[in-house]
Structure 1
Amino acid sequence: MNGNLPQAITMIRELLAGDGDVASAIGHALDGAGLLVDPERTFGAVLRRTPQGWAPVAPATQPAPPEPTELEQQASDWDTACQRAAQLVDVVRATYAAEPDFVGVRADKDTVVISLQIAELSRWAGWMSTLGIVEHQLTGLDYVVCGRTTIGDVPVSVLAYDLPEVQLVVQAKARRPYRHAGLIYDLAVGHKDITGDTWYFHGDYSAEGMPLLSKDGRPERYSLAGVVDMLGPILPVREPVTAAQGGERG
């Protein structure tokens, strides 16, 4: 039984003894006593009688929010892009802060800028491989090289300070320098790949002028670019290859 029923019966008896619009008086009295359910204000389920029994009353549908304007959508997208960049800064700092050539990282609006101090060309080769930087994404000045890439859809600029000077020193020391993908390889020495195998140049070039390398003196020849792409970065080992011929190309 509804717990409000005894109170409602008592109130109706009292009001029936009065004068005037008894029905209206009873309705207002019950409402004022909180004995009537207001479907617009209740926080519970409102029920209605159906042939199948009591069923909840469907709430009034709320109008859908208006579609954002083009300007509002652009502003929202910009805020989201800046937030992604700020989040990436934290990830990069946590991942690479311990590296010896890592200087810092910062957000520049919706992009990220990573600063490095390069002292060895092999370190830059490792950074290019790790961050996915390729040669056509490189630009440089006298004291810095800038590589552009993306990490998780966030544009990233990598500033490699002192790299141009390091490249000049490496090229001056190399007996047979060859530039590929922003790096300088001395074809007069062997180069070790990530599996530990050493590749040598013996004077052969492809039709496009790319040096051809052989692994540990085997007869098969593979292009320097292919070896770098599949097994790079490859790092020099100081074992001169006396059979190597030809000068600098590229």
Structure 2
Amino acid sequence: MKKSLFTMEHARQLTEDTYELVLSGDTSAITAPGQFVNIELPGKFLRRPISICNWTEDALMLLVKVVGEGTKELVRCVPGTELDVLSGLGNGFDMNLAGDHPVLAGGGIGIAPLYGLAQRMLERGQNPTIALGFRTGKDAFYVEEFAALGCRLLIATEDGSLGVKGFVTDCIQAVPECDYVLSCGPLPMLKAVHSLPQLKDGQFSFEARMGCGFGACMGCTVPTKDGYKRVCKDGPILYKEEIVW
């Protein structure tokens, strides 16, 4: 974990409530896709944990969904705004366990860490299939960016306005040769993906309300087969075999 100042470079609106933010700063503490940052906002008691979409040596890219006053203030920050950021939090995805042809499954804002993950898998010679789920076509974002990576890309929307009509699980079932999953999204989606019999193993990124964000307050614990674990410190990535629903 590292505490440092980042500078807002730009904020780009993607959908009615989703934004792309680029912040410049020291990203040396970030070691794996799937980690997150915790951002301090003026006047707010708790920091806001945000999953990392992608990063370079001196820049951080975040996809942010506005869900309250804190995230609303964050996406409204003008270029040049300095933000106090804790970076390098969480364990991240382990790409070594995923094999050559895993499926990356994301729902809604949960697709964010899968972008940087897919990019780095391709650099390592892995060939992931990407399955993304949204409520409607209007809610979809980063589809062109994922497509530009060159991976097989499958899209599902609940109303059928983009891709197939259904859920991300329908996309996964369309590629039965994929038996390892790396997934991030809302809890019902994770549970549904976890239950697919074709998936022999996988890694699941969990969300939880956080107090400190680095393991001190125990406010984000979830039950596992090995006892309670902290989403912020022991996760956010949990492994298929240890998850208890």
Give the alignment's TM-score, normalised by structure 2. 0.22
TM-score by length of 1: 0.22
Higher relative contact order (CA 8 A, sep 6+): 2
* Structure (1 or 2) with the greater helix fraction: 1
